[in-house]
Amino acid sequence: MAKGKILVIDDEQSQLELLELFLTRKGYQVRCSATAEEGLRFDRAFEPDVVILDIHLPDKDGLEVLQELKKKNPRSNTIMITAYHDMETTVKAMRLGACEYITKPIDVDELEKAVTRAFRLSAQDRRPDSGGHPTTPKGPIIGNSRAMKEIFKAVGMLCENRVTVLIEGETGTGKELIAKAIHDFSPNRDHPFLAINCSALVETLLESELFGHEKGAFTGAHVTKKGKFELAGQGTIFLDEVGEIPLEVQAKLLRFLQEREFQRVGGETTLKASARVIAATNRDLWEMVNRGAFREDLYYRLSVARIHIPPLRERSEDIRLLTEYLLKKINAELGKNIRKIEEKAMLRMIEYRWPGNVRQLENVLTRAAIATHGEVMPEDAVLPFLGREMAHGTKVDQPPLSLQEVEKEHILKTLNHTGWHITNTARILGISRPTLRLKMKDYKLLPKP
């Protein structure tokens, strides 16, 4: 007896045949279609449990097909597949109700996991599109790594609700960009997005910025002032460096998150507000909870949903994409016409550890652009800004590695390069997939969650 019914809609005949063979062997009943119209007819007649849908189809946009599928059955589970890797396409697909999003070339192991999750979600109702098209965030989020694809999915799901979100990541990873993207793709995007750096204000001023103050509440309070929670309306409050909030202010923030009410500094009237809170931190909040520097109840309120942004050194495969985008931005700002970076310089940048993450990458490219006079940024323009050991063409002395350690490091580097795509990694390494999996097991190589 078949595990369930799957409809595959894709205009690549070879891929249809491969997916049909693979899924049939896994015990599913499968139907395939090469066009949108035929796929929609099969959907009505076949009534699949899961639909695997390509975004690029010859007769209709895959996102339009997704909308029709969701209109017919809001509980339908659709896995989108595409050759595109940008955040906006992913977010649109997730907003329209896709339960999974996979990029080509398809890793069948990843697809099998997605299909399993889709069947588990069969009873979960997903909200259909609210109409209109989301605006593109002002600060694009660039990435083709596995981790960034998961972040794109999270943005797509979180923009359709108003739960509190905690974004974790090192300085310079782009936490505010993620928060802004969630806001910009939400139905409340026309309302304010107000950011507060919690580490930049002393306790009294921070409390006043958040909740406002009454006239005469403290020295210098000559007039009544509204706080950010009042000013945001139905919008979003972004609390950057939330771990720096003093304990007394943490108590007031907790009350707001629990009751959606607060009092201005020096006031007695209880006010209501409905702004969404997105917090960010580069610190380990749970460690702060354990030593009494952060309230445990507030931690749980803030982390209803969590997004972890990996440091740039853990997603080096994104550096080329990021560099391409940043160069266009830098050219516009400096009046330059730099078309590319010398390959030697690019390889150095990929090897570099980037302690300052994307922010440091932009700084290095800007300074190197100033020193570049032609259309190609040379290695000599980049190296002086990559740290002393890189600038001198050497790395810090380390003890020699064993052959096993060299092999492990090379496999890990290749996995990161391909976004943990097993088939592509095995092909680059020149070994079979079973051999690669065995080595990954031996070396305990697992993708970060």
Answer whether the bond into residue 140 is a cis peptide, omega within 30°: no
Instruction: Name every residue whose Cβ is closer than 8 Å to that of residue 268 and which is 6 or more positions away in sequence.
Output: none
Query: 141 near 87, Cβ under 8 Å?
Result: yes
Q: Tell whether 259 and 382 lie within a shared domain.
A: no
Q: Is 372 among the domain residues? A: yes
Are 297 and 329 contained in the same domain?
no
Shared domain check, 259 and 196: yes
- Rounded to whole angstroms, the Cα distance separating 349 from 361 reads 9
Are 49 and 99 in the same domain?
A: yes
Determine the pLDDT at residue 91.
84
**58 and 25 together in one domain:** yes
Residue 150 within any structural domain of the chain: no
The pLDDT of residue 58: 92
| Extended strands (E) in 296-399 | 305-308, 340-341, 376-377
How far are the Cα atoms of 178, 305, 366, 448 from residue 155, in angstroms, in the given order?
7, 11, 29, 19
| Domain hosting residue 190, numbered range | 158-308
Report the pLDDT value the prediction gives residue 134, as an integer from 0 to 100: 35
Contacts of residue 143, Cβ cutoff 8 Å, sequence gap at least 6: 85, 87, 149, 151, 152, 315, 318, 321, 322
Strand partners, 29: 5
With contact defined as beta carbons under 8 Å apart, do 418 and 317 qualify?
Answer: yes
Q: Which of 279, 308, 337 is the last residue of a domain?
A: 308
- Alpha-carbon distance of 185 to 207, in angstroms, equals 29
Check if the beta carbon of residue 66 is closer than 8 Å to that of residue 52: no
Q: 330 and 433, same structural domain?
A: no
* pLDDT reported for residue 50: 93
Q: Are residues 333 and 413 in the same domain?
A: no
Q: In what order do the strands lie in the sheet with 165-168?
A: 193-197, 236-240, 276-281, 165-168, 305-308
Asked if 361 and 319 touch (Cβ cutoff 8 Å), the reply is yes
Q: Looking at the domain assignment, is residue 151 inside a domain? A: no
- Measured from the Cβ of residue 240, the count of other Cβ atoms closer than 10 Å reads 20
167 and 254 share a domain?
yes
For the entire predicted model, the pTM comes to: 0.66
Of 202, 194, 200, 193, nearest in space to 265 by CA:
202
pLDDT of the residue at 288: 92
Q: Could you tell me if residue 135 is inside a domain? A: no
pLDDT of residue 229: 92
- Would you say residue 449 lies in a domain? no
Claim to verify: residue 17 and residue 100 sit in the same structural domain: yes
Task: Say if residue 290 is in the same domain as residue 162.
Answer: yes
- Find, among 404, 417, 416, 415, the residue nearest to 443 by Cα: 404
Q: Does some domain include residue 228?
A: yes
Asked, for residue 145, whether it belongs to a domain, the answer is no
pLDDT computed for residue 144 by the predictor: 79
Assign residue 320 the CATH number of its domain.
1.10.8.60
Is residue 298 within 8 Å of 253, Cβ to Cβ? yes
**Torsion region of 394: left, alpha or beta (phi above 0 gives left; psi -120 to 50 gives alpha):** beta
* Count of all residues that appear for the chain in the document: 449
CATH number for the domain spanning 280: value is: 3.40.50.300
User: Mean pLDDT for each 10-residue chunk of the chain (449 residues)?
Assistant: 85 90 91 93 91 92 91 84 78 85 84 86 43 40 84 89 94 93 91 92 86 83 88 94 92 93 88 94 93 94 95 92 92 91 92 90 93 91 75 46 74 82 81 82 77
Last residue of a domain, one of 308, 343, 365: 308
Q: Establish if 134 belongs to a structural domain.
A: no
Assess whether 164 and 303 both reside in one domain.
yes
Domain boundary residue, one of 251, 276, 308: 308
Same domain? 170 vs 301? yes
Return phi, psi of residue 344, to 5°: -60, -40
Q: What is the DSSP string of 414-448?
A: HHHHTTS-HHHHHHHHTS-HHHHHHHHHHTT----
Phi-psi category of 387—alpha, beta or left, where left has phi over 0 and alpha has psi -120 to 50?
A: left
Number of structural domains (the chain) is 4
In whole angstroms, give the CA distance from residue 178 to residue 152.
9
